Amino acid sequence: MPMASYDHLFQKLESQFLLDRAQMAPIVKGFIAEYQSGLKTPSKGIASMIPSFVTSLPTGNETGTFLSLDLGGTNLRVNAVELLGNGEVNIVENKRLATTELKEGTGEAFFDWIADTIKELVTEKASHLFSADQVSGKEALALGVCWSFPVDQTALDKGTLLKMGKGFVMSGVLGRDLADLFHEAFERKNMNVRVCALLNDTVGTLVAHAYANPRTRIGFIYATGCNAAYPEKVANIGKWDEQFRSQFNPEDEMLINTEIDIFGDDTYLPRTKYDLELCQNHSQPDFQPWEKMMSGAYLGELTRLVCLDFIKEGALFDGVVPAGWDKPWSFQTVMMSSIERDNTETRNKSTELLQETYDFASKPTKEDIQVITRICRIVSTRGAIMVAIAIASMIEKQQLHTKDSNSIVIGLNGSTYEFYPYMDDRVHKALRTWFGVEVSERIRIEIAREGGSIGGALIAMLAK
Of the pLDDT bands very low, low, confident and very high (cuts 50, 70, 90), residue 149 is confident
| Residue 152: pLDDT over 70 | yes
Reduced to 3 states (helix: H, G, I; strand: E, B; else coil), residue 143 is strand
How far, CA to CA in Å, does 79 sit from each of 26, 130, 132, 212, 348?
43, 12, 18, 18, 43
Return d(Cα 114, Cα 105) in angstroms, integer. 14
**In which band, very low, low, confident or very high, does the pLDDT at 168 lie, cut at 50, 70 and 90?**
confident
Note the Cα 181 to chain centre separation in Å. 26
Q: Are 448 and 411 in contact (CB under 8 A)?
A: yes
Pair 234, 254: CB distance under 8 Å: yes
Per-residue pLDDT at 179 exceeds 70: yes
pLDDT tens track for 218-241: 999 999 989 999 999 999 999 988
In this prediction, residue 45 carries a pLDDT of 67
Listed residue (420, 418, 235) closest to 334, CA to CA: 420
State the average pLDDT over residues 123-128. Answer: 96
Query: pLDDT digit string (tens) for 325-336?
Result: 999 999 999 999
Which domains are delineated in the chain?
Answer: 1-52+212-448 (3.40.367.20), 63-199 (3.30.420.40)
